[in-house]
């Protein structure tokens, strides 16, 4: 394949090779694009540094470089590659698809050399693995053999192309004429699974962190409900997965019909050295399995180890040519016959190999191979006295001395390539040491388990999450997101505003990012202001319009219908999230309760002191039970619509069928309900409710517009939702101004994720939006108190809503603290 790459691609003709969101590229077309790109690179052999993304341009450039017999050095997109560039002086740098020619004629490249890969993740180390065409071909053939890859397979790119595991997926599938589903999306994104299903995906690869993410989105439930009908096999490598997780995935695979392959490898072996046959995963989850076809293991005894246990060595055609530390090494021939893995392993009686530990000080975290010695050296360069180890999936650093103002966690994160939240710093007076004087890494792990370091930035956002969501900070897992922790449409306003203040910006889809990822986000401060989510701004503006119109300060009707669309938007974002069905149901129940309970309490209070409501209002059922001729009959219509719509949709989405359909077709499912809403709007069923339908559950289609907008992931989908909005709103109220206001508000919701404004405006909008429910409930009783002073009445109504919201938040916090307060006993008296 790699000797005549273009011919190999072309021989598969019109079979699909690359599948993206917008394109299907056949093998013949791919061969043409690769050939054209190869012409741009030229015929003289070059060293090509390629900044990689999982997109078609990157893949074509990578294949073109191989086809032209150039040497490719893939690196992650957007990183600092200064050390590598300075060490190897590449002839060509490809960034964002643009070729930049730098040096000419300075490289002596060995004829067999094809690929250079980092052994240390993204640490920027100039130490690289030299791989030949023969290495790539042998490993791809071996992997394709034991996975039995065929032309009908469709593999999704879940790993970066700069990573040997990610490249091995591409190599092995292109070798067999299979297709690649090319995407940058994460497995937690609905759009990833939409694309995977649309292209009949049969496989994807994952590192341990991938399977942590899959747990969060209810992957087990999706598989068991038939949500991935074409899934044939799943592979795992890039670090050790716990035996319990291997066993559970093997059980899932056996129950739902796909194969689960646990694999073992290293960049120095091109990618793979061993695999565990799926039939053995359930009973032998701690094993790495057997050598891949063409490879062999041997175990060399190590002093102090039991018989049969020692260092694992691997031999096979995929073993690297050797390491490169600088430019001159690129001319060297292969000098490695056998790979010393550095792992301590044993061969069991059943013929399976098992790794029991590491001999060197490399660890794998977040799919990256981290050189702990290199991190320590970097810290020492910064005048930090520290040692490093790993524990509980984190990089642990014991720091004894540091310069004033030195952020040890940030320095360690930079040196390791890990996100800052993956680093835990333990402050110590002296570095813990063994009697021999060597560092005591075990003590460091124990100290980390006992302490919660004050310098750990994770505590900042953890405390913020705990405060907004009214939960204990100690119960928050850094791998959880806002929606995982029960965040909903009522708490997201406060969270988004405070997160914006903390970070200086709101990352895209922040509500579904793990806490550790939010903590690793670069803080920014912009003098020209901050951003506020459009849904927050609309919520604030709409409730002010509602109160002012009711008080007759102005006549700008339509705010409540905008709020209805925002409610649907938040329903899609915070209730229909990729979590298990039971968790979704719990989130829905919580959301309904936080609307219904305060509404019922306020109506009960109003019944005692006013004549504004009737018993049917107390049940939030005035529109069902009447009376429909009273002056206040329509005052709570918006709350009634929201509550009963949510109840109905909760029942639909709680059902296994509804849950399965929504997960499989999130946008299509929302559009189906939008179609139902439009049918009601146009009275397709002949109900003849007339203009009164404005203020009943038949206004559901506004909610459905927001719901569909939240699930629209492409411009064409947003255009379709906008078109339906335009068709539905024209003539709906019989008032062009009202219709225009509602259209503009909901169009902004569809197309504009955030609005930039002065920081003070963001805070004010957040306060008003967060208080919109209490403002809506109470304003009818507040503004009349001010008689003809309507402006004062409107302001007072908004202020009362804000104060009530603050009061409820304070009460929740007080109750939570009281419930978790320590119990005093006679044996442990209180201190005075």
Q: Which domains occur in the chain, in start order? A: 5-357 (3.40.50.12780), 367-450 (3.30.300.30), 477-525 (no CATH), 534-813 (no CATH)
Distance of CA 173 to the CA centre of its chain: 26
Contact 212, 187 (CB under 8 A): no
| Torsion over CA: 164, 167, 172, 173 (sign) | positive
The pLDDT score that the predictor gives to residue 537 is 93
Q: In 241-371, which residue ranges form alpha helices assigned H by DSSP?
A: 243-256, 278-281
Q: Of 258, 260, 257, give the one whose Cα is nearest residue 246.
A: 260
Question: What digits encode the pLDDT tens for the residues 384-401?
Answer: 989 999 887 789 999 988
Contact 286, 345 (CB under 8 A): no
Contacts of 516 (CB under 8 A, 6+ apart): 419, 421, 422, 458, 478, 479
Sites in the chain below the pLDDT cut of 50: 120-123, 436-437, 453-459, 525, 527-528, 820-832
The pLDDT score that the predictor gives to residue 633 is 57
Contacts of 422 (CB under 8 A, 6+ apart): 365, 366, 393, 394, 395, 413, 516, 520
Contact 515, 421 (CB under 8 A): yes
The DSSP letter of residue 284 is -
- The string over 767-782, giving b where at least 16 C-beta atoms fall within 10 Å of a residue's C-beta and e elsewhere, is bbbbbbbbbbbbbbbb
Contact 95, 58 (CB under 8 A): no
Angle, CA of 179, 181 and 182, to the nearest 5°: 120
Question: What digits encode the pLDDT tens for the residues 769-809?
Answer: 999 999 999 999 999 999 999 999 999 999 999 999 989 88
The pLDDT score that the predictor gives to residue 827 is 33
């Amino acid at each position: 394949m790699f000797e005549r790459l273009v011919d190999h691609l072309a021989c598969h003709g019109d079979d699909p090779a690359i599948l993206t969101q917008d394109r299907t590229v056949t093998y013949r077309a791919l061969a043409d694009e690769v050939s054209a790109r190869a012409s741009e690179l030229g015929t003289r052999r070059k060293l090509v540094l390629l900044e990689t993304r999982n997109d078609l341009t990157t893949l074509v450039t990578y294949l073109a470089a191989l086809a032209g017999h150039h040497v490719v050095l893939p690196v992650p997109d957007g990183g600092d590659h200064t050390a590598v560039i300075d060490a190897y002086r590449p002839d060509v740098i490809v960034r964002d698809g643009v070729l930049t020619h730098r040096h000419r004629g300075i490289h002596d490249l060995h004829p067999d050399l094809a690929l250079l890969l980092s052994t240390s993740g993204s640490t920027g180390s100039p130490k690289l693995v030299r791989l030949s065409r023969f290495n790539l071909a042998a490993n791809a053939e071996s992997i394709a053999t034991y996975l039995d890859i065929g032309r009908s397979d469709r593999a999704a790119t879940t790993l970066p192309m700069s990573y040997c595991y990610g490249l091995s997926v591409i190599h092995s599938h292109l070798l067999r004429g299979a297709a690649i589903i090319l995407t940058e999306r994460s497995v937690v994104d609905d759009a990833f699974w939409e694309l995977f299903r649309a292209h009949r995906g049969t496989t994807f690869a994952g590192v341990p962190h991938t399977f942590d993410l899959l747990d969060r989105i209810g992957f087990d439930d999706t598989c068991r409900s038939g949500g991935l009908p074409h899934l044939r096999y799943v592979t795992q490598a890039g670090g050790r997965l716990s035996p319990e997780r291997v066993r559970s995935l093997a059980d899932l695979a056996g129950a739902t019909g796909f194969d689960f392959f646990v694999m073992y490898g290293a960049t120095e072996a091109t990618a793979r050295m061993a695999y565990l046959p799926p039939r053995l995963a359930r009973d032998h989850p701690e094993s790495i399995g057997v050598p891949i076809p063409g490879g062999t293991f041997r175990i060399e005894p190590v002093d102090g180890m039991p018989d049969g246990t020692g260092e694992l060595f691997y031999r096979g055609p995929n073993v690297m040519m050797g390491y490169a530390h600088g430019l001159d090494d690129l001319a060297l021939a292969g000098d490695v016959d056998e790979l010393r893995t550095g792992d301590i392993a044993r061969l069991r009686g059943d013929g399976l190999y098992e790794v029991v530990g590491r001999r060197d000080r490399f660890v794998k975290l977040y799919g990256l191979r981290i050189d702990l010695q290199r991190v320590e050296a970097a810290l020492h360069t910064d005048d930090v006295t520290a040692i490093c180890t790993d524990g509980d999936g984190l990089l642990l650093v014991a720091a004894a001395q540091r310069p004033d103002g030195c952020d040890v966690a940030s320095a360690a994160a930079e040196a390791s390539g890990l996100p800052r939240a993956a680093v835990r710093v333990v402050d110590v007076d002296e570095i813990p040491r063994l009697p021999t004087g060597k560092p005591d890494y075990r003590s460091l792990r124990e100290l980390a388990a006992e302490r919660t370091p004050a310098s750990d930035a994770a505590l900042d956002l953890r405390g913020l999450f705990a405060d907004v969501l009214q939960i204990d900070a100690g119960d928050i897992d850094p791998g959880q997101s806002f929606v995982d922790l029960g965040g909903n449409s009522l708490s997201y306003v406060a969270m988004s505003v405070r997160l914006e203040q903390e970070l200086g910006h709101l990352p895209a889809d922040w509500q579904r990012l793990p806490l550790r990822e939010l903590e690793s986000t670069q803080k920014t401060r912009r003098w020209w202001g901050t951003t506020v989510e459009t849904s927050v701004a609309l919520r604030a503006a709409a409730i002010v319009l509602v109160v002012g119109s009711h008080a007759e300060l102005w006549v700008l009707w339509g705010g409540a219908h905008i709020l209805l669309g925002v409610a649907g938007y938040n329903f899609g974002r915070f209730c229909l999230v990729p979590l298990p069905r039971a968790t979704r149901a719990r989130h829905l129940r919580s959301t309904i309760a936080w609307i219904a309970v305060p509404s019922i309490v306020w109506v009960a209070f109003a019944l005692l002191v006013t004549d504004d409501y009737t018993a049917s209002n107390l049940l939030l059922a005035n529109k069902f039970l009447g009376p429909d001729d009273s002056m206040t009959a329509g005052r709570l219509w918006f709350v009634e619509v929201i509550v009963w719509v949510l109840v109905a949709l909760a029942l639909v989405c709680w059902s296994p069928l509804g849950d399965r359909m929504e997960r499989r077709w999130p946008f299509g499912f929302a559009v189906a309900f939008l179609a139902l809403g439009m049918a009601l709007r146009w009275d397709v069923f002949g109900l003849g409710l007339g203009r009164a339908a404005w203020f009943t559950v038949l206004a559901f289609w506004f909610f459905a517009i927001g719901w569909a907008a939240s699930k629209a992931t492409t411009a064409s989908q947003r255009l379709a939702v906008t078109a339906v909005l335009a068709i539905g709103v024209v003539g709906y109220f019989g008032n062009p101004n009202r219709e225009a206001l509602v259209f503009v508000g909901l169009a902004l919701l569809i197309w504009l994720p955030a609005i930039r404004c002065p920081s003070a405006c963001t805070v004010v909008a957040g306060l008003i939006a967060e208080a919109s429910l209490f403002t809506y409930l109470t304003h009818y009783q507040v503004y009349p108190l001010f008689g003809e002073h309507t402006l004062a009445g409107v302001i007072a109504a908004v202020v009362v809503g804000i104060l009530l919201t603050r009061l409820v938040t304070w009460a929740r916090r007080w109750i939570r603290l009281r419930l978790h307060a320590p119990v005093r006993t006679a044996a442990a008296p209180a201190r005075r």
